[in-house]
Chain A
């Protein structure tokens, strides 16, 4: 009986997701990953070596791509299933059934797994295609080609799906903060098994157990086998995007499955179930009282508290006699003002900044002061970088708020909403960026560093443009939160030229590139919003 209930719960959730437009985008992403791997844009390399494209190598290489990317991107794809049940009110119906909290979170974890597994399946098909395309070994052996997906990719995405449920169940991690935090959790989970390999680069059975997505396990075996045939190999390994030239090939015959390896993968699956069960401890079971308490733990204003204490007696008081249209002062004919942009901007900024706790403002102010007070290099390279991450949840609302709060019909039926409200949102985002990162601008002004000031300006224009474009086109803040956090980590935080939109160092600053991108993104945002309106 329970299995049947579980089946229907998972099935309904899965069908609801796969029939959404977003799922097609998700599958398209999986196809693109497969295409990148098949065409050599993403390559597994061991210094200058790579394996001959036989079934064993192709299967494992494609599995590594699937495990690495889907354990990161997959989290953002599947996170939101509990929230959807809440928004559609289906959750309240489910909460009124005898179903336990642990049953629900486990079902959601399995549903997450099913969605991500379908992406893994696409990658599996891509692996077969890849071997035909490369044609270095015409013999396709299905077991060595596909078994790595079962052994590594599927447990990895099961773990990811469980973590997504866990994050959704924890009040502080449910929203945008969780989206940002997960990136750092993922980075840490990736770093742990790498750091546990001994100084000689030898892989021990214990390493398998800390390797949730199997990357170190697979690459470790590849490295061991290469060392045996190529003594000059220096133990480097990477999953490379872009720079994919390798000069040497070696024949790799595939994984050597050991009991420890199998056990570690089962442990990952077991960990996924345990995480889903732990999530149940925090799951609110769609209790509206808990929900409201979690959303608004700050004290209510005095008059509201008074009204609440009276059970809104005043609000519902029999004052029918007062309800008269005669109370309304007729508006003058020229009631519509052409100069409302500043007021609309002010209203948008208020909307962006409302709802944050006091400490959010204190940290923002602290970062501002630290940017001004720090030495120029530290201000530009460290403090300002931190200040750029702090308002990520403010920017991620841009372009998504109307869909998220179901206010689109109110706003889009207003006169000139496209040219009045959309620019106001963008300017609001720009002002937030300028204010939170303004300390650096002051510091640069003091230092008379014009080039760096231009880079700062480009960055300050670029961020809200990216947020608005991604928000409008995706309809959710998750995309910006994920893309921006990863970009911030690779670019400004590591001063990587090409991706450093802040220009955290003189060498990595490219303001003109980001000014051009800003213009493109603003255009994309405009077209995206325009396409959503019946009449522009």
Chain B
């Protein structure tokens, strides 16, 4: 099971490049695709899910070119788009039955699967309520359920935790981790904590290009010994921000506690164990500095 992305670029009609020469090879596991807003994450998801065509490059599923045989990927694909709608007059069961039919699942299989999925996403009690009356988080859970209808080998979820309450978010993270065993899961998000909890691999994307692709531990290794916490007076905070890459601040009685990324900290600063958020900021900042140079 292998998904290969080779030199993929995508240019929109206004001549803006959303992706540039993007390369990646994925094996079973959860890939956390991290990047700022507008980095090209959703465009990459759309290309992989066959919704849009790459301007250059190719995508292969088990060495089958998506352009030659898009159904090779569609038949194993579960896709949760960032922005999707539902049919408001249908209830959850009817909506999932409809999509199961469109996906080509037989009646008996889909019926059992829908029951299980509604339990899984915790919507069993409202399964007969028209979707038009669902909250944003409940619609998101229906989206998660439809993505899992066909037991996909390739699961692409774009900002899946948007609109979910903290409890449902934890549930979904757990679910993703469990699902990852025998399938390729791509989790696109800008929420680092979602990736931290689930990803076996991380790809950082910025400006349509791949900034880094590594295991979380490797990314953390890059900022080992570069994270500091110092205390500064409030009136010095602005000048500190101009000198250092700041990943967090907290106002306390003794001043502002500043979490900074730098080879050496302020005088008196204490070294800290890095988090994935530190690594994310550090890599993006280094990439931007390199691009500017």
12 further A-B pairs in the complex, CB-CB below 8 A; given A409-B46, A415-B75:
A300-B129, A304-B130, A315-B123, A317-B122, A331-B151, A335-B151, A350-B94, A411-B99, A413-B51, A413-B79, A534-B50, A534-B51
Say which residue of A320, A324, A332, A405 sits within 8 Å of B109 (CB atoms): A332
Q: Which of A321-348 contact B (CB under 8 A)?
A: 322-332, 335-338, 340, 343-344, 346-348
Interfacial chain A residues near B77, Cβ < 8 Å: 413, 415
Decide if B236 is an interface residue (CB 8 Å cutoff): no
Decide if A200 is an interface residue (CB 8 Å cutoff): no
On whether A303 and B178 interact (CB within 8 A), knowing A351-B98, A355-B89, the answer reads: no
Q: Are B98 and A316 in touch, CB under 8 angstroms?
A: no
The complex places the Cα of A324 from the Cα of B179 at a distance, in Å, of: 9
Q: Which chain A residue has the least Cβ–Cβ distance from B97?
A: A347
Q: Are A340 and B79 in touch, CB under 8 angstroms?
A: no
Interfacial chain B residues near A330, Cβ < 8 Å: 151
Say which residue of A304, A320, A340, A410 sits within 8 Å of B146 (CB atoms): A410
Q: Which chain A residue has the least Cβ–Cβ distance from B82?
A: A409
Decide if A307 is an interface residue (CB 8 Å cutoff): yes
Which residues of chain A have a CB within 8 Å of any CB of chain B? Answer: 292, 295-296, 300-301, 303-304, 307-308, 312, 314-320, 322-332, 335-338, 340, 343-344, 346-348, 350-351, 354-355, 401, 405-417, 420-421, 424, 534-535
Q: Which chain A residue has the least Cβ–Cβ distance from B112?
A: A329
Q: Are A406 and B75 in touch, CB under 8 angstroms?
A: no
Q: Are A351 and B109 in touch, CB under 8 angstroms?
A: no
Interfacial chain B residues near A331, Cβ < 8 Å: 105, 109, 113, 150-151
Interfacial chain A residues near B125, Cβ < 8 Å: 303, 307, 312, 314-315
The complex places the Cα of A324 from the Cα of B168 at a distance, in Å, of: 13
Q: Are A296 and B133 in touch, CB under 8 angstroms?
A: yes
The complex places the Cα of A318 from the Cα of B61 at a distance, in Å, of: 38
Interfacial chain A residues near B113, Cβ < 8 Å: 328-329, 331
Decide if B212 is an interface residue (CB 8 Å cutoff): no
Q: Are B101 and A340 in touch, CB under 8 angstroms?
A: yes
Q: Which chain B residue has the least Cβ–Cβ distance from A355?
A: B89
Q: Are B98 and A304 in touch, CB under 8 angstroms?
A: no
The complex places the Cα of A340 from the Cα of B53 at a distance, in Å, of: 27
Q: Are B122 and A323 in touch, CB under 8 angstroms?
A: yes
Q: Which of B121-141 contact A (CB under 8 A)?
A: 121-123, 125-126, 128-130, 132-133, 135, 138
Decide if B253 is an interface residue (CB 8 Å cutoff): no
7 shortest A-B CB distances, which residue pairs?
Answer: A406-B85, A304-B129, A355-B89, A535-B70, A325-B178, A415-B74, A331-B151
Q: Are B175 and A324 in touch, CB under 8 angstroms?
A: yes
Which residues of chain B have a CB within 8 Å of any CB of chain A? Answer: 46, 49-53, 66-67, 70-71, 74-75, 77, 79, 81, 83-90, 94, 97-99, 101-107, 109, 112-113, 116-117, 119-123, 125-126, 128-130, 132-133, 135, 138, 143, 146, 148, 150-151, 165, 167-168, 170-172, 174-175, 178-179
Say which residue of B87, B97, B129 sits within 8 Å of A401 (CB atoms): B87
Q: Are B116 and A327 in touch, CB under 8 angstroms?
A: yes
Interfacial chain A residues near B79, Cβ < 8 Å: 409-410, 413
On whether A325 and B126 interact (CB within 8 A), knowing A337-B105, A415-B71, the answer reads: no
Q: Are A407 and B104 in touch, CB under 8 angstroms?
A: no
On whether A336 and B105 interact (CB within 8 A), knowing A316-B167, A324-B178, A347-B98, the answer reads: yes
The complex places the Cα of A348 from the Cα of B101 at a distance, in Å, of: 10
Q: Are B74 and A414 in touch, CB under 8 angstroms?
A: yes
Q: Are A325 and B179 in touch, CB under 8 angstroms?
A: yes
Q: Are B104 and A337 in touch, CB under 8 angstroms?
A: yes
Say which residue of B85, B104, B138, B148 sits within 8 Å of A340 (CB atoms): B104
Q: Are A351 and B133 in touch, CB under 8 angstroms?
A: no
In the complex, how many angstroms separate the beta carbon of B85 from the nearest chain A beta carbon?
3
Q: Are B74 and A409 in touch, CB under 8 angstroms?
A: no
Interfacial chain B residues near A409, Cβ < 8 Å: 46, 49, 51, 79, 81, 84
13 CB contacts below 8 A, A to B, read: A304-B129, A308-B129, A308-B133, A316-B165, A322-B119, A325-B120, A336-B103, A347-B101, A405-B88, A408-B51, A413-B51, A415-B77, A534-B51
Q: Are B116 and A329 in touch, CB under 8 angstroms?
A: yes
Say which residue of A320, A335, A355, A410 sits within 8 Å of B171 (CB atoms): A320
Q: Are A325 and B171 in touch, CB under 8 angstroms?
A: no
Q: Which chain B residue has the least Cβ–Cβ distance from A322?
A: B119
Interfacial chain A residues near B119, Cβ < 8 Å: 322, 327
Interfacial chain A residues near B168, Cβ < 8 Å: 316
Q: Are B90 and A535 in touch, CB under 8 angstroms?
A: no
Interfacial chain B residues near A350, Cβ < 8 Å: 90, 94, 98
On whether A328 and B120 interact (CB within 8 A), knowing A406-B85, A407-B87, the answer reads: yes
The complex places the Cα of A324 from the Cα of B87 at a distance, in Å, of: 27
Q: Are A295 and B132 in touch, CB under 8 angstroms?
A: yes
Residue of A336, A346, A408, A410 contacting most chain B CB atoms (<10 Å): A410
The complex places the Cα of A317 from the Cα of B171 at a distance, in Å, of: 12
On whether A405 and B85 interact (CB within 8 A), knowing A328-B148, A336-B75, the answer reads: yes
Q: Which chain B residue has the least Cβ–Cβ distance from A343?
A: B101
Q: Are A535 and B132 in touch, CB under 8 angstroms?
A: no
In the complex, how many angstroms separate the beta carbon of B212 from the nearest chain A beta carbon?
28
The complex places the Cα of A307 from the Cα of B123 at a distance, in Å, of: 11
Q: Are A405 and B132 in touch, CB under 8 angstroms?
A: no
